[in-house]
Amino acid sequence: MSANEYLTDASTRHQIMLQRLSGGSFNKLKPILEKLQKDIRARLSNNPTDFQMHRLTALMKDIQALFDAANSEVSKQLNLDLEEFIPYETDFQYRMLGNAVTTELTLPAIEQVVAAVTTAKAELISGGVTKRLTISEMVETLGTKPATIENKIRAGIIEGKSVDQMVRDIMRVANQAHKRDVRTVVRTAFNLAGSQARQAVTNQNLDVISGEKWVSTLDGRTSFVCQGLDGKTFAVGEGRYPPAHMNCRSLRIPLVDQRYAIPGIKGKRSARDESGTVSQISGETTYNSWLKKQSAAFQDEVLGEDRAKLFRGGMNVDKFTDDNGCTLTLAELKSLDSITL
């Protein structure tokens, strides 16, 4: 099992670097977002009488155009960064797998990986619903912010807010909410691209692969669906692939057929406990077994008090979501508990 522990170790450490890389990509977008904020503020300052119901259509048309132009620039820069990232990531996955096996591997054609990244639809869980989105469709979701702004203006008019108050509300959407959403899309896009590169290398070398394993981050921020999937094994091509949701940090890594595994190499997993201390633990540790060793207070913080009580009573974290990865209600959890017992 040492070759697979090595792949877990190397993959999780590399994923941290990938998250930092996506942060650098987001930083390149900051001038675009800052220009958007200035353009919106300038448009709102043109004519205070625009903040009237009968003039709202023209104002919102201009704001929508500003968002569309900015999001188009975001899309162009993100695509440039991903085009540069995909060849590197494919080569890294190829070299990493090569370090764990005794035979020569085949590097997939970069053109095929690029095409896969472009067309792949991530199955993203959001609010109990699974949305299947390509990277370009993720970027398109950024275009919904003008509707939020229009709702704030309409509410502000009804509530009798001053123009200055409504401008502040609008700028909070343009500055904070939109910037947060762009950062989320960039992180998720890089995870999807990395996942596709890993899949391409795996599919090109199926003769040395026995399956795949889900690897989640061992800390207090991991989602319920990724907590439950951690350590699960799948046949290649079956089951869910990361990202499981926006901002997902999880991986699915190849498992080496032991006939081809290089003996004697080892690997660990990183885990961050409630004090923030990062430690190295066995590569075979799952989120469920790791969380059982944490304090009750930490379990309460991660799961919520009611779910934590069920967890300490013997329910595993994979029971906190349904077969589609959506979070169950407490009533549904308790009914499962009664069936189990």
- How far apart CA 128 and CA 321 sit, in angstroms, is 10
- How far apart CA 132 and CA 120 sit, in angstroms, is 9
pLDDT band at 290 (very low <50, low <70, confident <90, very high): confident
- How far apart CA 272 and CA 70 sit, in angstroms, is 37
Residues 175, 177, 180: CA angle, nearest 5 degrees? 95
Instruction: Look at 43 and 274; give whichever has higher pLDDT.
Output: 43
pLDDT tens digits, one per residue of 229-267: 999 999 999 999 999 999 999 999 999 999 999 887 766
pLDDT band at 334 (very low <50, low <70, confident <90, very high): low
For residue 125, what are the β-bridge partners?
130
- How far apart CA 307 and CA 330 sit, in angstroms, is 7
Give the C-alpha distances (Å, rounded to integers) separating 35 from 31, 83, 277, 291.
6, 25, 39, 44
Q: What is the pLDDT of residue 269?
A: 67
pLDDT band at 336 (very low <50, low <70, confident <90, very high): low
Q: Across all residues in the chain, what is the average pLDDT?
A: 86
Q: Give the rounded distance of the alpha carbon of 261 from its chain centre.
A: 31
**DSSP per residue over 88-111, as a string?**
HHHHHHHHHHHTTBSS---PPPHH
Average pLDDT over residues 46-54: 67
The three state secondary structure string of 204-258 is HCHHHEEEEEEECCECCCCCHHHHHHCCCEECCCCCCCCCCCCCCCCEEEEEECC
Residue located via tokens 């702004």: 149
Q: What is the pLDDT of residue 341?
A: 36
DSSP 27: H
pLDDT band at 323 (very low <50, low <70, confident <90, very high): low
Residues 6+ apart with CB under 8 A from 310: 319, 333, 334, 337
pLDDT band at 339 (very low <50, low <70, confident <90, very high): very low
Q: Which of 26-40, 132-146, 148-162, 192-206 has maximum average pLDDT? A: 192-206
- Start-to-end CA span in the chain (Å): 34
Return the SS3 of 38.
helix
- Is the CB of residue 294 less than 8 Å from the CB of residue 31? no
pLDDT tens digits, one per residue of 56-98: 788 888 889 999 999 999 999 999 999 999 999 999 999 999 9
